[in-house]
Amino acid sequence: MVVSTLTTTTFSSCFPFPKCIPAHLKSSGGHPRTLCCSRSERRGGAQMVKSSDGELPAKNSEIWQLFKEARQNILYLDKQRALAIEELNKAISEKNSLLEKIEELELEKQAMDRKDQASICWQLLLRIDSMVLTGMINSEEVSKMRRLVMDHKVSIVDAFTDILQKKDAEVLAELRQFSYRSKKNGFHIVHICTEMAPIASFGAVASFVTGLSQALQRKGHLVEVILPKYGSMNLNEVQGLREIEVEYYSYFNGQLHGNKIWTGVVRGIGVTFIQPLYYSSFFNREKAHGYSDDFERFMYFSRASLDYIVKSGKKPDVLHIHNWQTALIGPLFWDIFVQQGLEGSRILFSCHDIHAQSLVQPEKLALCGLDPARLHRPDRLQDSSNTHLANPMKGGIVYSNKVVIMSSTHSKGRIIHSSSHGLETTLNMHKEKLLVAPCGFDSSAWDPEKDKILPENYSADDMKGKAVCKIALQKKMGLAENSSFITVGCFLSDLSDLSDVDTENLRAIVQNATKMGVQFIFMMTGEVTSRHKGLESLQVKIEDANVRFINRHDETLSHLIFGGSDIILCHSLHDPILQVPLKALRYGSAPIAITTNNDNGFRHFPDHDNETTKLAMFINSTFGYLSFRQALDEINNNPSEWNHKVFDAMTKDFSWDAECCDIHISAYTAIKSL
């Protein structure tokens, strides 16, 4: 018998024997006698002892056996505990060693980055020397170019990273163009917003602000960002974060209130963080938004941002504001701040989600110093449907010099007449200052030619590596390995966005396609809370050997899914948060939109409006009009046409540096001439 759970304490309480048994308690056979523990037993005297002598040896022998087994178990548990402690110490040691190694690698990387910057500058200087020797430039121009390189090291490094692959004539042309842009000094743009990737990512604004700002700086413009200092913010991504030892005041609710200012650099962009003191609870919360006082919180931030700009003496060319959260900067600027040294500044309003509007009691506008009676009018902030309420987003449209609506698929006309969500009259009235711009994506992180995560790189001119990626993906997911099989990837960010009809439609399409040998890989992205249940429900409905589900986001695997898939199913071809369709185009994986229609397919109808972005025209004329079934038919029956579309898509540039950046530069240029 093994008493595996017996401990020293329980044993001693059940069997209270002394370690050394006195001689007068031993029987003639050498075994210990049991102690009399009751008065009645003692009154039994010798007769009781005599009648029990025959039973004691057997009982005591069993007890001692239990004792020995219990002691063995205790020793075994002590040994196991010692081994566990040893393993734990070993794991802690390995973890510390790994952390030290990571720190060493990070220091090496930082040193390498500094070395690369110096290396590129020196490569340029040496190439300039060679241009002088070959007579391409004269001594006067070479002196200016050397000074240009030394005065603009950071921008030079971004613009000439691939200098070794270029000929002297190409380098000279780019240097002259860079010199021209430097003389212009570019625009000084200040984004006033409530989110920015990767430190405060909550929606479409976050990746837009970071992506566009980096693109603008690569083209010679000065860009900075003003953000609230959230308590939940990821400050590990901020370089050189420091508090400015000067308290400044901003107006709110009839009084001036103190604020702390913090500064730092995020992805090469200067960022200012505003931290309220009296209203410290405004941004020191678990979440960044989703509270009943969101209007008051972001109105405070909007006013504080303008007070800070005036206090700091900044004179930006453009104040770039976003969504309803900072839309009130428009009326604040023109009614209060334009005469405080900002006469040369102009307002550009970006609308990332026209559906998300905040309606408030007009009296609340007075909290930040605005005049409700002056603004609550049909041609200003009064909401068109709920006339007793004020609409901050409407104010952003009315009081901005230019309005950019972000859409990768819709034209200006369609947005005004079909997707304005109650703002049709306002948009139509201000359509001359309305622009449409597509989203972009980070082409430095998402490029199959340079993607280090892929098992083999590939390009539009050499697609061999894509077949290798497909085999690697199939192997990783436990699917049949054959590069001729059609493989489909799908990223699900929020199943609640899919209607029940769409979900059922998706199930039917997957089941029909798997009968033809098509393979599917579904990956969940972002937070997985209630949405996780939706994915599990879909997974139950679609059980097939050719289907795989990943219930969490895996950045490394997502690169392989793009690289190894022929088709990427997208909830929408306008995806400002994950940019899935744009990444799919770059990786040669056709984006097909998930929408409800009668033929159990995915369909996105083209928009023929003249005022449509290049991205919208391209994607709608290639993959946007195809249902999923039509896409499969074209792959199988007209592969040359399909491959031509894929090739064409891969050669297009839809990154932040391309059309999105160009449209915004045109907008900045237009409003500065007003």
pLDDT at residue 608 greater than cutoff 70: no
301's torsion region: left (phi>0), alpha (psi -120 to 50) or beta?
alpha
* Residue scoring higher pLDDT (416 or 23): 416
pLDDT at residue 122 greater than cutoff 70: no
pLDDT value of residue 68: 85
> Please, is 46 exposed, middle or buried when counting C-beta atoms within 10 Å of its C-beta (0-12, 13-18, 19+)?
exposed
Strand ranges in 253-373 using DSSP code E only, listed in sequence order: 255-266, 269-276, 318-322, 346-351
Q: Which region among 81-90, 149-158, 193-202, 342-351 has the lowest average model confidence (pLDDT)?
A: 149-158
For residue 415 the two structure tokens come to 């947005």
Nearest in space to 668 (alpha carbons), one of 216, 335, 243, 313:
216
Indicate the pLDDT class of residue 132, thresholds 50, 70 and 90.
low
Q: Give yes or no for a contact between 328 and 395, defined as CB atoms under 8 angstroms apart.
A: yes
| Sheet containing 434-437, strands listed edge to edge, beginning at the edge strand earlier in sequence | 239-252, 255-266, 269-276, 222-228, 188-192, 318-322, 346-351, 402-406, 434-437
The alpha carbon dihedral of 618, 621, 622, 627 has a sign of positive
Indicate the pLDDT class of residue 90, thresholds 50, 70 and 90.
confident
pLDDT at residue 600 greater than cutoff 70: no
pLDDT value of residue 53: 56
Mean pLDDT for the stretch of residues 387-402: 97
**Interval 633-656: pLDDT, tens:** 999 999 999 999 999 999 999 999
Helix (H, G, I), strand (E, B) or coil at 6: coil
Q: Give yes or no for a contact between 161 and 191, defined as CB atoms under 8 angstroms apart.
A: no
pLDDT at residue 663 greater than cutoff 60: yes
Indicate the pLDDT class of residue 37, thresholds 50, 70 and 90.
very low
* Residue scoring higher pLDDT (103 or 79): 79
Helix (H, G, I), strand (E, B) or coil at 599: coil
Helix (H, G, I), strand (E, B) or coil at 494: coil
**Interval 429-469: pLDDT, tens:** 999 999 999 999 999 999 999 999 999 999 999 999 999 99
How much is the pTM? Answer: 0.74
**Interval 57-69: pLDDT, tens:** 777 888 888 888 8
pLDDT value of residue 115: 45
For the chain, give the mean pLDDT. 83
Q: How many whole angstroms separate alpha carbon 162 and alpha carbon 168?
A: 13
Q: How many whole angstroms separate alpha carbon 228 and alpha carbon 301?
A: 7
pLDDT value of residue 34: 42
Identity of residue 554: D
Indicate the pLDDT class of residue 659, thresholds 50, 70 and 90.
very high
Q: How many whole angstroms separate alpha carbon 392 and alpha carbon 360?
A: 8
pLDDT at residue 150 greater than cutoff 90: no
pLDDT at residue 104 greater than cutoff 60: yes
pLDDT value of residue 526: 65
pLDDT value of residue 231: 93
pLDDT value of residue 108: 63
Mean pLDDT for the stretch of residues 594-608: 49
Mean pLDDT for the stretch of residues 567-575: 91
Enclosing H/E stretch for 106: helix 56-133
pLDDT at residue 304 greater than cutoff 90: yes
pLDDT at residue 604 greater than cutoff 50: no
pLDDT value of residue 417: 87
Q: How many whole angstroms separate alpha carbon 177 and alpha carbon 164?
A: 18
pLDDT value of residue 69: 86
Most confident of 29-33, 179-183, 372-376, 606-610: 372-376
pLDDT at residue 46 greater than cutoff 60: no
640's torsion region: left (phi>0), alpha (psi -120 to 50) or beta?
alpha
For residue 464 the two structure tokens come to 């061999």
Identity of residue 310: V
pLDDT value of residue 176: 75
Q: How many whole angstroms separate alpha carbon 523 and alpha carbon 417?
A: 35
